[in-house]
Each structure stands twice: as structure tokens, then as C-alpha cells.
């Protein structure tokens, strides 16, 4: 157990590629935590553990012993988080497990959107923040300008910012000294009942579920029985230890310390980030504040391309879910796509990662339907009784509009940093997406805009569009803010007069015609011609708001076909058979699977 005043717990916040991993490597190396011969690059990122943790990786941690200039030895615990917005909740938990942050900014680049989003999390967690200007070895480095930017944009004092090159090692000692002298020691009562925060957890093939904890009060020892307060489950602790960064067993963890426990837990699902762990008897009454179960915000349908693979898909999803509590799923049947699953994710990245894993690791080709957010549909009340609220995860389930009182949609606060010359395009894009401007300031030659936007307008292709209109120079981050009522309607799509459930979507009434027209035009290009003409319509309720006609196929014949061509032709047909498997039939019309996703990408 370490004395409280000899412990410093911190995280590193940075925009991607500003040097967080490299700096962590240098800190580990400088303090001799890892022998030089075992040192490899991006040490925290390349741990075996990380690979096994797969996508639910939220925190890496390392315990560093540092002998300071004052002769005292300190224990420094670094928690490293990927910092993607999809995992904002997990990141905020990790932040609450430490007292301070190093704010790493690339001195050749300056502050970016992710820097901001992450630093606000640190400020929210009451961190002491030490600015670090990295990459000073590069000629383009401009520390004065970037320090000024940190003060202007973030509003923290950067006069004592440390100038570092994580590459050459310059400034690393100063950084370690700053951690010891500028960051506060943790507080806690070793004689109180155990109160530990569950920071993260992941599955290990040998040890079962490994739980990363921060001790707030009391002590954690091997052999103890502990209680997880969110669900009251009891566990026998069979191992405790710390990461250096390899696992190392210890006898006891006291207040302020960060380490792990294992307790023969089978599923990550049974451990919840943010939960409070205490003694099974005479434990603390007061759980740590702020625990909330993960809430999926983006939903989509996943269907096997080959409907015979449905059971394989079920298997794959079951397995992935065991290790990822933030991912929800239920069976879905679609007239168009057959049997599949409606799945909920923390965000688009999370969606993509899970989808890719199913396709790659389980070798199942998937049709992904358009992502949708969760709408709050308020039903009309009866005789003074207030109508109920329905959480709508799938536009296909939208109740009859005549029974609906109003609909609310989730909104976000988006922060975008962009060079001046692209500002006009960015404002137009946000405006087109029903955004409400909240702030516009300048940081040097770059503008920072803050928009209140409907999440629905962002989930599909906002980021792609932003990158394309700014040639990749904009940085973007967002945070969920809450629900707001708007004039929302369900738009259905009819192909050859048959509704295609997988293409229906919620849209703002004012944008319905535009979306409907774009959708019909897109589909006209995506659906191959058939032997008859096909009307393609968008409708709200029974009212058609847009219409296109796909004309009939008139020429598709092999001009020459003689003796030798029989084989060739038969092979061609076999290929077409395979191709047809990837189509879905609606009445008499075959729709290729790409249509479901491509149709929803807006080019405007």
C-alpha cells in the first residue's frame, strides 16, 4: 500500500496523432518501468491485453515508480483512454478515477476539436491540467502561438506549459516533475469500508473477466468477498494486482491506488463501468455518484446477405455481446430482408467496429440498414390521462400518426474547428442539417464553431461531408445534449407500389420533399432495370411526395452464341445466380443490397 501523498494519478488528453502514445512510451522508459530491452513502440497500445479486449477497449493503464529530484519516490498511475466520442461515458468514468491530466498539444498544429472535447471532460472531472507542447523538435513548431491558443480557446493558463519532444526525450524529466508537483495527491480514508470504482473491464481467456478499479476508500485484499452495488452481485476476489504495464500481483490496494481484480466473473456484461464495489458485509451505503448503464444511441438492422446464415449471425452477435455491455440487440423481421437483428450502438464508430468484426471474424456478409437514432414518440392522451411515451428504435415501427401527439429527437452539441477559408462551407453544411449556431470564435486563423444539431442529421454521412468540404482540414467532435420536439414525420418508400420497410426513415417535415426526391433519384440509379417499368415513390402517410419511374429494360442479350459459348454462358449465369443472392426481392423487383445504404447517403 502506498502513502496517499506519494501517489499521483493522471490521464493524457490529446487530439489523435498529437503524440499521446509516444509520450506515454517516454514516461515509461525514462522511469525504467520497463527494461530497455523490453521496450517497444506504443507500449500501451500494443499490449496483448488490448488485443484481447477488442473494441471495448476504453482504458489502458500503467503504474510508474518515479524517483523525483527531491529524493522521494512516487507512484504515478497513468490511465490512457482512446477518447472517441462514442465512448464518452467510459472516458468520463476514467477521468473520475484520476486527479489530473496532461493536455498534450502538437506545437506544429495547435488545438483541435478532439483536444477540446477531451479537455472539457477533464475540466468536468475537476482535474488539475498541465499543458504539454509536443513535437518541439520539428521546425514548424510554434510554442508561443499554441500556448496563446490554449489560453484563448480553452481558457487555462499556459504560461508554464512544458515544451517537449516525445521523440527525442527533451522535456520528459520536466513533465515527470510537473506531475509530482503540480498535480494533487488523491485523498481517501483507509479505515472506512471499501469503496472502489469499476473503471473498466475486459475478458481474458485465462483469468476470466479482469476488472480495473480505483480505490476511493478502504482497502482491497485478495480473498475478500465484494459486492457490486448496481446489481448486488457478490464475488470472491481471487487475484489483485497492478499494471507495469504487464500484470503484477500485489497483496493489497489502498486508497488512491489503481489496479485490477479478478473474481471468476464469466461475462463482461456482469460488470458495469462506473459501478461501485464494496465489502459484502458492512459495506458503504453510498455508491459513487454518476453511475448510469450504457445507452445505445444509434440503431440499425443487421441482416445476413445469405439468409441461410441467420443462425451463424445469432451466434456471432451473442458472442460479441458477452464482451460488450454497451451493445444491445433484438431479433427483427423485415419483409424485405428476412430475419436479422435490430442492434443498438454507442455511436457510428461502435456500429462500424461491430459490423466489421462480424464480417471479418465470423465471415458473415451483412446488409446494414440505415442507422437511426432513438425518437421519443408521445402518444395522445385519453380523457385527461397523459399518453405514454414510446422509444422508437426503428422507423418501421412508427405508430399511426393520428394517435401521436408529438415527437422528440435527440440533439447534440457539435464543435468544429476549421481553417477560415472553409468556414462558409461548414456553416452551410450545418445549416442544411438543421443546425442552430451557438458560437463562432477564432483561434488564430482557425474558426471554432459550435452548433446545436439533431443527431439524426449527423449519424449518416455528416463526417464524410465535413471532411470533403474542408479537404480534411476540419476537426469535429460532439456530445449528446438531450431531446427536443420538432416537426418529424415518417417517410416511406414504395418500389413498384410495395412499401420497402428497410428504407423508411424519420425526417423533418420541411425537408421531406427534398429527401424524398433525392431518395427516389438515387434508387432509380441503384436498382437495375427490369423487364417492366417500375415506379419509385416516397410518401408520408398515404400522400406521395416524390416519384420517379425506372424505365423497362429493353436490351440485354448476347449477340453471338455458338458452340463454344455454351460453357461461357453457363458460367456467366452461375455468376448471376451468385449476384442475385445479394439482391432482395420486393414483389417482382430485385433490389441490390448496396441500395439500402447508398440510397440514404445524401450528396447535397
Partner 1 sequence: MDDWRNGGFGLYVHWPFCQAKCPYCDFNSHVTARIDQTKWAEAYRRELLRAAPQLSGRVLNTIFFGGGTPSLMHPDTVATVIDAAREIWPFSNDIEISLEANPTSVEAGRFVGYRDAGVNRISMGVQALNDEDLRRLGRMHSVSEARAAFDVARNCFDRVSFDLIYARQGQTIETWKAELNDALSMAIDHLSLYQLTIEAGTAFGDRYERGTLRDLPSDDNAADMYLATQEICEAHGLPAYEVSNHARPGAESRHNLIYWRYGDYLGVGPGAHGRLTLGGDRYATETYLQPGAWMEAVISGSGEAQRTLLSKDDASAEFLMMGMRLVEGLDMGRYRNISGKDLPADRIAHLVDLGMVETRDDRLIATDDGRAVLNAILRELLVE
Ligand X SMILES: Nc1nc2c(ncn2[C@@H]2O[C@H](COP(=O)(O)OP(=O)(O)O)[C@@H](O)[C@H]2O)c(=O)[nH]1
- Binding site for GTP: what residues are annotated? 17-22, 134-137
Q: How far apart are CB 328 and Mg ion at their closest, in Å?
A: 29
559 contact, one of Mg ion, partner 1, ligand X, none, CB 5-8 Å limit per kind: partner 1
- Residue 508, Ramachandran bin (φ over 0: left; ψ between -120 and 50: alpha; else beta): beta
The verdict on 134 binding Mg ion (CB under 5 A) reads no
Q: How far apart are CB 137 and ligand X at their closest, in Å?
A: 5
- Residues that bind partner 1 in the complex, under the rule CB under 8 A: 530-532, 553-564, 566-567, 569-570, 573, 576-577, 580, 588
The verdict on 118 binding Mg ion (CB under 5 A) reads no
Of 316, 211, 344, nearest to 268 by C-alpha is: 211
The verdict on 114 binding Mg ion (CB under 5 A) reads no
Count of residues touching ligand X (by CB under 6 A): 15
Strand order of the β-sheet with 60-67 is 60-67, 73-80, 7-14, 100-106, 128-134, 162-163
560 contact, one of ligand X, Mg ion, ligand SAM, none, CB 5-8 Å limit per kind: ligand SAM
Contact range with Mg ion by CB under 5 A, out of 17-25, 185-193, 206-214, 231-239: 17-25
Cα distances (angstroms) measured from residue 323 to each of 104, 265, 328, 509 = 31, 12, 12, 40
Of 508, 511, 512, nearest to 539 by C-alpha is: 512
Q: In whole angstroms, what is the distance from residue 41 CA to residue 22 CA?
A: 7
Residue nearer to ligand SAM on the CB measure, 282 or 567:
567
Pick from 7, 11, 18, 502 the residue near ligand X by CB under 6 A: 18
Q: Which residue is nearest to ligand SAM (CB)?
A: 559
Count of residues touching ligand SAM (by CB under 6 A): 2
By three-state DSSP, how is residue 185 classified? coil
Cα distances (angstroms) measured from residue 150 to each of 99, 105, 157, 442, 487 = 20, 9, 8, 12, 40
Residue nearer to ligand SAM on the CB measure, 464 or 565:
565
Contact range with ligand X by CB under 6 A, out of 10-18, 124-132, 273-281, 495-503: 10-18
Pick from 3, 5, 17, 565 the residue near ligand X by CB under 6 A: 17
Q: In whole angstroms, what is the distance from residue 182 CA to residue 426 CA?
A: 39
Residue nearer to ligand SAM on the CB measure, 308 or 559:
559
Q: How far apart are CB 566 and ligand SAM at their closest, in Å?
A: 15
Q: How far apart are CB 562 and ligand SAM at their closest, in Å?
A: 8
Residue nearer to ligand SAM on the CB measure, 555 or 560:
560
- Non-local (6+) Cβ contacts of 234 within 8 A are 225, 226, 227, 280
Pick from 559, 563, 578, 604 the residue near ligand SAM by CB under 6 A: 559
The verdict on 560 binding ligand SAM (CB under 6 A) reads yes
The stretches of 55-96 forming alpha helices (DSSP H) are 88-96
Residue nearer to partner 1 on the CB measure, 389 or 573:
573
Largest CA distance in the chain: 92
Of 493, 502, 586, nearest to 333 by C-alpha is: 502
Q: In whole angstroms, what is the distance from residue 430 CA to residue 466 CA?
A: 9
Residue nearer to partner 1 on the CB measure, 306 or 464:
306
The verdict on 21 binding Mg ion (CB under 5 A) reads yes
The stretches of 384-494 forming alpha helices (DSSP H) are 423-432, 455-459, 462-469
DSSP 220-265: EETT-EEEETTTTEEEE--EEEEESSSEEE-SEE-TT-EEEEE---
| Three cell numbers, residue 448 | 471554432
- Residue 289, Ramachandran bin (φ over 0: left; ψ between -120 and 50: alpha; else beta): beta
Residue numbers in the known binding site are 17-22, 134-137
DSSP for residue 385: B
Residue nearer to ligand SAM on the CB measure, 440 or 566:
566
CB 18 within 8 A of CB 134: yes
Contact range with Mg ion by CB under 5 A, out of 13-21, 67-75, 306-314, 570-578: 13-21
**What is the per-residue binding string for ligand X in 137-166, x denoting contact by CB under 6 A?**
xx--------------------------xx
Q: How far apart are CB 19 and ligand X at their closest, in Å?
A: 3
Q: Is the peptide bond before 598 cis (omega within 30 degrees of 0)?
A: no
Q: How far apart are CB 42 and ligand X at their closest, in Å?
A: 6
By three-state DSSP, how is residue 464 classified? helix
166 contact, one of partner 1, ligand SAM, ligand X, none, CB 5-8 Å limit per kind: ligand X
Place of cell 429527401: 515
Pick from 9, 11, 22, 121 the residue near ligand X by CB under 6 A: 22
Pick from 53, 93, 135, 522 the residue near ligand X by CB under 6 A: 135
Name residues contacting ligand X, limited to 164-193 (CB under 6 A): 165-167
| Three cell numbers, residue 326 | 454497451
Pick from 3, 5, 16, 187 the residue near ligand X by CB under 6 A: 16
Residues within the interface to ligand SAM (CB under 6 A): 559-560
Residues within the interface to Mg ion (CB under 5 A): 21
Residues within the interface to ligand X (CB under 6 A): 14, 16-22, 134-135, 137-138, 165-167
Amino acid at each position: 500500500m502506498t502513502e496517499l501523498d506519494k501517489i499521483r494519478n493522471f490521464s493524457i488528453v490529446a487530439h489523435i496523432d498529437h503524440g499521446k502514445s509516444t509520450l506515454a512510451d517516454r514516461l515509461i522508459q525514462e522511469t525504467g518501468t520497463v527494461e530497455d530491452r523490453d521496450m517497444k513502440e506504443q507500449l500501451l497500445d500494443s499490449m496483448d491485453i488490448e488485443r484481447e479486449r477488442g473494441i471495448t477497449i476504453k482504458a489502458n493503464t500503467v503504474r510508474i515508480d518515479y524517483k523525483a529530484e527531491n529524493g522521494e519516490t512516487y507512484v504515478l498511475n497513468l490511465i490512457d483512454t482512446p477518447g472517441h466520442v462514442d465512448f464518452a461515458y467510459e472516458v468520463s468514468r476514467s477521468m473520475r478515477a484520476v486527479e489530473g491530466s496532461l493536455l498534450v498539444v502538437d506545437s506544429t498544429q495547435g488545438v483541435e476539436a478532439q483536444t477540446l472535447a477531451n479537455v472539457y471532460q477533464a475540466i468536468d472531472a475537476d482535474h488539475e491540467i498541465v499543458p504539454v507542447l509536443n513535437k518541439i523538435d520539428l521546425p514548424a513548431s510554434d510554442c508561443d502561438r499554441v500556448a496563446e491558443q490554449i489560453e484563448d480557446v480553452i481558457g487555462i493558463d499556459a504560461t508554464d506549459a512544458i515544451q517537449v519532444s516525445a521523440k527525442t526525450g527533451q522535456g520528459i524529466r520536466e513533465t515527470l516533475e510537473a506531475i509530482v508537483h503540480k498535480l494533487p495527491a488523491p485523498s481517501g480514508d483507509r479505515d472506512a469500508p471499501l469503496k472502489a470504482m469499476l473503471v473498466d473491464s475486459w475478458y481474458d481467456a485465462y483469468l476470466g473477466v479482469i476488472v480495473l478499479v480505483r480505490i476511493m476508500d478502504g482497502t482491497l485484499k485478495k480473498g475478500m468477498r465484494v459486492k457490486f452495488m448496481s446489481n448486488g452481485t457478490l464475488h470472491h476476489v481471487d487475484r489483485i494486482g497492478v499494471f507495469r504495464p504487464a500484470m503484477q500481483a500485489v497483496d493489497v490496494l489502498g486508497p488512491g491506488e489503481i489496479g485490477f481484480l479478478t473474481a471468476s466473473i464469466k461475462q463482461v456484461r456482469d460488470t458495469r463501468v462506473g459501478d461501485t464495489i464494496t465489502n459484502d458485509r458492512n459495506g458503504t451505503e453510498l455508491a459513487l455518484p454518476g453511475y448510469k448503464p450504457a445507452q445505445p444511441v444509434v440503431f440499425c438492422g443487421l441482416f445476413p446477405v445469405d439468409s441461410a446464415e441467420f443462425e451463424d449471425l445469432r451466434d456471432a452477435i451473442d458472442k460479441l455481446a458477452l464482451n460488450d455491455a454497451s451493445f444491445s440487440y433484438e431479433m427483427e423481421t423485415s419483409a424485405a430482408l428476412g430475419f436479422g437483428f435490430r442492434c443498438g450502438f454507442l455511436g457510428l464508430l461502435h456500429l462500424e467496429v461491430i459490423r466489421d468484426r462480424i464480417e471479418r471474424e465470423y465471415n458473415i456478409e451483412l446488409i446494414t440498414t440505415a442507422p437511426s437514432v432513438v425518437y421519443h414518440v408521445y402518444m395522445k392522451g385519453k380523457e385527461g390521462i397523459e399518453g405514454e411515451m414510446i422509444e422508437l428504435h426503428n422507423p418501421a415501427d412508427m405508430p399511426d400518426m393520428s394517435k401521436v401527439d408529438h415527437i422528440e429527437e435527440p440533439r447534440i452539441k457539435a464543435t468544429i474547428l476549421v481553417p477560415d477559408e472553409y468556414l462558409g462551407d461548414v456553416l452551410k453544411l450545418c445549416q442544411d442539417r438543421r443546425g442552430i449556431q451557438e458560437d463562432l470564435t477564432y483561434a488564430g486563423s482557425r474558426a471554432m464553431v459550435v452548433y446545436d444539431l439533431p443527431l439524426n442529421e449527423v449519424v449518416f454521412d455528416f463526417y464524410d461531408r465535413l471532411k470533403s468540404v474542408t479537404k480534411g482540414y476540419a476537426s469535429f467532435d460532439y456530445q449528446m445534449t438531450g431531446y427536443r420536439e420538432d416537426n418529424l414525420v415518417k417517410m416511406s418508400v414504395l418500389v413498384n407500389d410495395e412499401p420497402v420497410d428497410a428504407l423508411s426513415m424519420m425526417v423533418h417535415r420541411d425537408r421531406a420533399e427534398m429527401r424524398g426526391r433525392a431518395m427516389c433519384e438515387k434508387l432509380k440509379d441503384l436498382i437495375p432495370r427490369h423487364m417492366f417499368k417500375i415506379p419509385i415513390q416516397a410518401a408520408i402517410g398515404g400522400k406521395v411526395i416524390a416519384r420517379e419511374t425506372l424505365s423497362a429494360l429493353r436490351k440485354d442479350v448476347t449477340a453471338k452464341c455458338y458452340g463454344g459459348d455454351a460453357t461461357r454462358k453457363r458460367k456467366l449465369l452461375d455468376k448471376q445466380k451468385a449476384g442475385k443472392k445479394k439482391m432482395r426481392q420486393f414483389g417482382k423487383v430485385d433490389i441490390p443490397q448496396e441500395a439500402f445504404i447508398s440510397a440514404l447517403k445524401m450528396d447535397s
